[in-house]
Structure 1
Amino acid sequence: MSSQAEHPKTSSSPVQNSIPASSCPQKRTFSACDLNCKTIENKIRKKIKHSWKRILKVCKEKDISNVGEIPVSDFLDIAGKFNLDLSEGESNQITAKYDSKKNGTFAYYDFLQSCVLFLKPKETSLMKRVIIQKPQKPLSPGPQTTSFFSATLRIQPKILHCWRPMERTFKSHDETRSGLLNVSDFKQVLHDYNIDLAEEDLFNILEYYDKNLTSKISYYDFLQAFIQ
């Protein structure tokens, strides 16, 4: 088993423009807005999980400039097409949250990752029941770029299908029980489960999970992003 690994080199630089942090409407505190939006997102999460690939495809078709944003009106049309059943008030809150630039656009990558992925460290009821070795140091994530979201969303279905045996395989490679794997072992485990990342996709995932370039990845944080 390899003891050292380096980040892969790519021939072209990955997208560096992070989608700005979501903001809330004026005259509303962030916590209140975020709580309301989370309630709405939880309501539609099941529908999103069953159709996010098609939603993403339609959003990307509308996103001619490939910036991760589309006009709010386009998102509302898409929400209607996929029967998300948002009331007028819910639509206003969701579009306000993801109109991060306050210019009538909707950050659809932010929206989808919030509904499909779970990137913020937290102890869910499922994770409490599953014995996964936590890293010795808490996650200090890197940039959440559109390229990172895209790469992570692409492998999400496969991870959901095999995360339990994958967790055991990660632990079998973690001889020191540190909760961390070097890049080569991390990549090998993914390959063992038929997840072969393109070099740019791997780079973008490493850029998030290994911001400080330690060549180590917390497989706990990686798996936690996909399950709840």
Structure 2
Amino acid sequence: MIELYFAATPNGLKAKLFLEEAQLPYRVRPVSLSKGEQFQPAFLAVSPNNKIPAIVDHDPADGGAPVTLFESGAIMLYLAEKTGRLIPADPRGRAEVLQWLFWQMAGLGPMAGQIGHFNVYAPEKVPYAIERYTRETSRLYGVLNQRLADREFIAGAFSIADIACYPWIVPHEAHGQQLEAFPHLQRWFEAMAVRPATLRTYEGVENAYAPKQPLSDEERRVLFGQQASSPK
């Protein structure tokens, strides 16, 4: 059994989408980020970075003590290797998948996250930041669009590269992007959206970048005001 510490952010949804695609038994442990539950000592023991997702694998491959993991890319790679699914066994295929997994972790996620923040959560508009991150996110969308021009999935066969990227394209409107401008990406996105595992993953999930009401000062402090000396 996998325990998934989860909130419905793109990174949390990546881990859940893998578990659904691989059909692994798991139990969701909700973490309310706006209430600061990610700073509780019990969660810190699982995720030293105070971020979701994190997992506890109670049935590791070596039969030993439970394995705890944080960071969505590490979680997906660990589970793919454990199950032998969604990552090629041959070195060339594996390298192909890994470069796009790391591309998402280092580029698409951080840049899309920044423009999502400045478009939706920032208390005031910062034109330079909005232009900077909109342009860079558009460039990254373009990279993915070109990659998908001659293939069905990002690394050829369906893999953790696709699972990693999809949740970061879902909030494209919050990123200031129109999928019609990226036809190959749009075709892939639409195919990903109707997969049974995707439908199960997103059932009942609210858009993380469409808050129903403005954040309170306390919620903003908890979500965005933490420093090295302040987690609690």
Normalised by the size of structure 2, how large is the TM-score?
Answer: 0.25
Normalised by the size of structure 1, how large is the TM-score?
Answer: 0.26
